[in-house]
Amino acid sequence: MKLYIGNKNYSSWSMRSGVLLAAFGIPFDEVKLRFDFSPGSEWHRVTAGVSPTRRVPVLVEDDGFTVWDTLAIAEYLADRHPEHAIWPRDARQRARARSLCAEMHAGFGRLRSVCPMNIEAFFLDVGQRLWAEDEALRADVARLDAAWRDELAAHGGPFLFGAFGAVDAYFAPVAVRLSRFGLPLSEAAAAYRDALLAHPAVEDWIAEALREQDFVAEDEPYRKAR
């Protein structure tokens, strides 16, 4: 399989699928495309050939079959690899994990917009200012914190349902955002954030993002240059 992704430093959606594949040791080839949406760019040329949405990530099978949404990719991998507990084995836990992924997929809009993913940069002063001024951001983080605490208390950690799974890969980019902006969390949620950042698949993604050394101005609301 091939996984088409964007810049590792910025692409939270790509991170979900890349970390999930790596965490379970599922073989794949990575095709990284630079975020460049100018007319005639490699981004437009390549994505047009693999996805009707022209977005990443996109998983492409050897026969050309494509899956282009992070939730769909997680479900497809779970179907293809039933030997791995990509979702919890218990039906109710599985439904809860999917609910959390769907909530992350569609929600937390204020956190996404004002705290974009940027692995190589820390914006602690910005985070402090946003936390003081932005009630919607505080509400997003409070909901996130509560959701994490509920599952950690129910299943004992270190990940939301005990062992690492798709739902944890889904929240890995959020752990990056929270850490880079220094947003406050409860003790339990902070421990989970740190466990995510210390997972080998997440650590590898972060290390590769740091090696990119690629400044994309459109994804940098808080910096004018590196």
For the segment 96-118, the average pLDDT, to the nearest whole number, is 97
- Spatial separation of the C-alpha atoms in residues 146 and 189, rounded to whole Å: 8
Same domain, 139 and 98: yes
- Spatial separation of the C-alpha atoms in residues 208 and 170, rounded to whole Å: 18
Same domain, 74 and 34: yes
Domain total of the chain? 2
Of 35, 66, 84, which residue sits at a domain end? 84
Q: What predicted TM-score, i.e. pTM, was given to this entire model?
A: 0.97
pLDDT tens-digit map of 124-137: 999 999 999 999 99
Check pLDDT > 90 for residue 42: yes
Position 226 scores a pLDDT of 86
Of 18, 51, 84, which residue sits at a domain end? 84
CATH of the domain at 198: 1.20.1050.10
Q: Using DSSP, state whether 66 is helix, strand or coil.
A: strand
Print the domain residue range for 69: 2-84
Same domain, 126 and 79: no
Contacts of 26 (CB under 8 A, 6+ apart): 1, 77, 81, 84
